A = this chain, B = another copy of it.
Amino acid sequence: MAQHRTRRSSDHETLQKEKGHVNLIPLGGLEEIGRNMSYVEYKDEIVIVDAGIQFPEETTPGVDFIIPNVSSLESKKSHIKALVLTHAHFDHIGALPYLTERLGNPPIYTMELTKALIEKRQNEFTNAPKLVVETVKYGDKKRVGQYLELEFFGVDHTVPETSGIVIKTPIGNIVHFADFRLEYNEKGEPQNTAEFKRIGEMGVHTFMIDSTNAEEEGHSLSEKNIEKNLEKLFEQAQGRIILTTFSSMLTRIAEIIKIAERLGRKVSINGRSMKEGVQIAQSLGYIKSKKDTLIPVEDIHKHKDNKVLILTTGSQGQENAGLMRIMTGEHRYIRIKPGDMVLFSSSAIPGNERSIQTLKDNLSRQGALVITSSIIDIHVSGHAPKGDLEAVIKLIKPKFLMPVHGYYFMRFANGQNGVAAGLRPDQVRLMDNGQIAHLTEHEFVITKETVPANYVLVDGLGVGDVGEVVLRDRRMLSQEGMFVIITTIDKKTGRVLKNPDIISRGFIYLKENQTLLDEIRKRVRGIIGRIPRYQPLDADYVKSLIRDQVGQFLYNKTKRRPMVLPVLIEI
């Protein structure tokens, strides 16, 4: 550092050349929602921000989830000075147990709540190494190498202790706002902005900014409004209140418990992930309830219906989650009864709409009064819309705006927000996952170099072993099913030894289609019968004949194209 400081006074241009550049490399989160991970590299020092998962998509059937590709970091393990985790949501921390070892178990910098949650989860992975965590607080500054320093600051989101970060580098400050939104007071003035102003005044080279709601108009609805609406509804409830939300929404959960206490209701937590989250938040003082407010589900019946509030998992209609088990009658202690008020204080994750609809339908059929955010505002996103984004960009005043967290179109829209906030269009940088940007004092150049950033799929115990071929087969199988034809042939004579066996699944119900099968068997025998016998059988050729001719025959008969898989057994 001493040396570095001395140099500051030397000729500026020479210095710039010597300084070289910072690499900024997003590994995920720029062409999807989730899988957030990026890193900053200067000489042999690397700071990583987040290590999130993405939920599977229609194109990745059967997969548990998708994690970032860290192969570009594996050869540089020793350079990793810090892995910063901005907050305790799975799209920012979920990939950690799979990556800890690949990254050489680097020092993690995060706040207390996130620390507790990642350590809890790490324990569930028997082979994952123990994490090395340095706890930080808002305002902390941490030098993590010769050149790189971190400074942490608070942002508002739906989980406590969400932390923005300044990465101080020799070419300037890179600011990352994590996931955030603004809170407003009753006059509509944004809160906690003094800190953002201070950061802006430090000078910001690049501002990495959340784009999840960059297309939404207006300002964030205050979480306080949501709480007011919830309280009003709670007051109207004649019977039990059953409220479901994401178990990661610990800020709201804490508030709901407070409201319940005010209204004299006991609170029971249903669902493992919510129980764990509440326990950890309690132990850290984020949830402060009287001793007897929280009751176990098995004690619910000891209290009057209008003195009970049940907080449950399952807002997405997931098959085995809390609310679904209540609805189906599988829950040991809780069943829906007329008079129950069921509140969905959540939004639908795309792909879950149909399950949620079924859940709401059946709760309503069973006599519950179901209330969702489409009826009254009882949920608000944790992500800043246009109004918030513009306000923050005006305070940070970066040289370069780099929208992150979202599809290209959302990030493009966020770039427009930057322009609306007074930036020139040429200050906006839209990168893709895996691209390498070179940052120098006055420049942000997206180079043509890239690192691998493709999906890494987690399926059961396998990490990365489900690739494009397997996925393509799954998609094909799900559309038209498959059709296996096994033909046994005498190796010497080339004759078919027995009637071909056929197995088919997902195509048509075979028992009802014997004629079709008989015709196919006849065709297969015909194909093999027509092959001249004077030379050894070319199995691949015969199989391709069967595949094509049976495939075409099935298509003509049904206009469907199952996957036809011929097998030749030569005896």
In the complex, the chain B residue whose C-beta lies closest to that of A386 is B375
- Do B215 and A374 touch across chains, with their CB atoms under 8 A apart? yes
A407 in contact with B473 given A58-B354, A215-B374, A508-B466 (CB within 8 Å): no
Copies of this chain in the oligomer: 2
What is the interface of chain A mostly: helix, strand, loop, or mixed?
mixed
Contacts of A408 on B, CB cut-off 8 Å?
361-362, 364-365
Query: Smallest CB–CB gap between A508 and chain B, Å?
Result: 6
- Do A498 and B409 touch across chains, with their CB atoms under 8 A apart? no
Complex CA distance for A370 and B409, rounded to whole angstroms: 8
Which listed residue (B360, B469, B476, B481) contacts A470, Cβ 8 A? B481
- Do B350 and A473 touch across chains, with their CB atoms under 8 A apart? no
Asked if A482 is an interface residue, CB under 8 A from chain B, the answer is: yes
- Do B567 and A62 touch across chains, with their CB atoms under 8 A apart? no
Segment at the interface with B among A107-115, A161-169, A190-198, A457-465: A457-465
- Do B474 and A478 touch across chains, with their CB atoms under 8 A apart? yes
In the complex, the chain B residue whose C-beta lies closest to that of A59 is B354
A505 in contact with B62 given A460-B559, A475-B478, A497-B571 (CB within 8 Å): no
In the complex, the chain B residue whose C-beta lies closest to that of A63 is B479
Complex CA distance for A465 and B507, rounded to whole angstroms: 9
Complex CA distance for A375 and B417, rounded to whole angstroms: 13
Which listed residue (B471, B558, B571) contacts A461, Cβ 8 A? B558
Contacts of A565 on B, CB cut-off 8 Å?
484, 503, 505
9 contacts between A and B (CB under 8 A): A364-B412, A461-B559, A474-B478, A474-B479, A474-B481, A478-B478, A498-B571, A501-B569, A505-B563
A488 in contact with B365 given A473-B505, A479-B474, A559-B461 (CB within 8 Å): no
Query: Smallest CB–CB gap between A360 and chain B, Å?
Result: 4
In the complex, the chain B residue whose C-beta lies closest to that of A477 is B477
Which listed residue (B62, B498, B507) contacts A478, Cβ 8 A? B62
A488 in contact with B360 given A470-B506, A508-B470 (CB within 8 Å): no
Contacts of A466 on B, CB cut-off 8 Å?
508
Asked if A101 is an interface residue, CB under 8 A from chain B, the answer is: no
- Do A488 and B557 touch across chains, with their CB atoms under 8 A apart? no
In the complex, the chain B residue whose C-beta lies closest to that of A479 is B62
Q: Which residues of A come within 8 Å of B, CB atoms?
A: 31, 57-59, 61-62, 215-216, 350-351, 353-354, 357, 360-362, 364-365, 370, 372, 374-375, 407-409, 412-413, 459-462, 465-467, 469-471, 473-482, 484, 486, 488, 497-498, 501, 503, 505-509, 512-513, 557-560, 563, 565, 567, 569, 571
Query: Smallest CB–CB gap between A521 and chain B, Å?
Result: 14
Contacts of A62 on B, CB cut-off 8 Å?
478-481, 506, 560
- Do A407 and B357 touch across chains, with their CB atoms under 8 A apart? yes
Contacts of A486 on B, CB cut-off 8 Å?
486, 567, 569
In the complex, the chain B residue whose C-beta lies closest to that of A358 is B407
Complex CA distance for A476 and B61, rounded to whole angstroms: 10
- Do B481 and A473 touch across chains, with their CB atoms under 8 A apart? yes
In the complex, the chain B residue whose C-beta lies closest to that of A511 is B469
A461 in contact with B364 given A477-B482, A498-B571 (CB within 8 Å): no
Complex CA distance for A374 and B215, rounded to whole angstroms: 7
- Do B350 and A353 touch across chains, with their CB atoms under 8 A apart? yes
Which listed residue (B61, B215, B507, B571) contacts A571, Cβ 8 A? B571
Complex CA distance for A475 and B486, rounded to whole angstroms: 24
- Do A460 and B558 touch across chains, with their CB atoms under 8 A apart? yes
- Do A557 and B470 touch across chains, with their CB atoms under 8 A apart? no
Query: Smallest CB–CB gap between A65 and chain B, Å?
Result: 13
Query: Smallest CB–CB gap between A54 and chain B, Å?
Result: 12
Which 5 residue pairs across A and B have the least CB separation, nearest first?
A: A478-B478, A460-B559, A477-B477, A62-B479, A361-B408
Contacts of A480 on B, CB cut-off 8 Å?
62
In the complex, the chain B residue whose C-beta lies closest to that of A469 is B509
